[in-house]
């Protein structure tokens, strides 16, 4: 059981980040390598930290670890929904121009372009990637940093929560309890 839980935790820790590095899957355009690197390192670090504390976790009641895992799965689902909404709002794809990442909210010239065109996709259609990128460059760097930070926080939270949800029960199982699967333990 411990090996299966660690395998699932390892998959959640590494696969999404490696997919982002290799193909850009799930990452904002042109950000797959560093985005995937951050996500993978966060997942692996989560497993390492939990395994370092496995002796302490073996003393935590099973009910508590189960509750933590369920809560972490719930937080992971919320992070996935938040990331999906964020991605849908900020990343606009066009068949001729490709994809552009807009800031969470537009200001200055970018806001004028989006308003005049009637929306983000229409602005990309009318002004092209170069026009939108130039307007984004003139926008507030704080808003841009907040947008990229939001992407990283949502994605990393998803990876860390799903990894920890499987690594915690694995760390909780000690060698004796792993062999005694099916037997009731005395409290």
SS3 85: helix
Whole-prediction pTM: 0.83
Structural domain includes residue 150: yes
Q: Is residue 60 part of a domain?
A: yes
Cβ burial 58-78 (10 Å sphere, 16+ → b, else e) = eeeeeeebeebbeebeebbee
Q: Is residue 63 part of a domain?
A: yes
DSSP code at position 94: E
Q: Is residue 186 part of a domain?
A: no
Q: Which of 24-28, 46-50, 122-126, 149-153 has the lowest mean pLDDT?
A: 24-28
Mean pLDDT of all residues in 19-38: 88
Assess if residue 183 is contained within a domain: no
- Total tally of structural domains belonging to the chain: 1
pLDDT value of position 174: 60
Residue 185 resides in a domain: no
Angle at 144 between CA 30 and CA 36, to 5 degrees: 35
pLDDT digits (tens, 9 = 90+) for 83-114: 999 999 999 999 999 899 999 999 989 999 99
Task: Tell me whether residue 26 is in a domain.
Answer: yes
Q: Does residue 10 lie in a domain region?
A: yes
Q: In which element (H, E) is residue 10 found?
A: helix 2-23
Query: Which residue range(s) make up the domain with 29?
Result: 2-178
- pLDDT average, residue stretch 136-145: 90
Enumerate residues 6+ apart whose C-beta is below 8 A from 88: none
Beta strands in the chain (DSSP E): 91-94, 98-101
The pair phi, psi for residue 30, each rounded to 5°, is: 65, 25
Mean pLDDT of the chain: 88
């Amino acid at each position: 059981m411990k090996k299966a839980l660690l395998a699932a935790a390892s998959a959640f820790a590494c696969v999404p980040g490696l997919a982002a590095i290799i193909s850009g899957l799930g990452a904002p355009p042109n950000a797959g390598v560093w985005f995937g690197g951050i996500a993978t390192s966060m997942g692996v670090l989560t497993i390492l930290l939990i395994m370092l504390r496995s002796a302490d976790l073996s003393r935590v009641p099973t009910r508590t670890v189960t509750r933590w895992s369920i809560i972490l799965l719930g937080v992971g689902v919320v992070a996935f929904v938040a990331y999906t909404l964020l991605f849908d709002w900020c990343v606009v794809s066009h068949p001729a121009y490709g994809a552009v990442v807009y800031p969470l909210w537009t200001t200055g010239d970018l806001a004028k372009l989006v308003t005049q065109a009637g929306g983000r996709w229409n602005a990309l259609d009318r002004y092209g990637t170069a026009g939108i990128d130039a307007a984004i460059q003139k926008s507030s760097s704080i808003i841009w940093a907040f947008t990229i930070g939001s992407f990283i926080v949502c994605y990393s939270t998803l990876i860390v929560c799903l990894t920890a949800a499987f690594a915690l029960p694995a760390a909780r199982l000690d060698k004796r309890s792993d062999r005694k699967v099916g037997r009731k333990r005395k409290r």
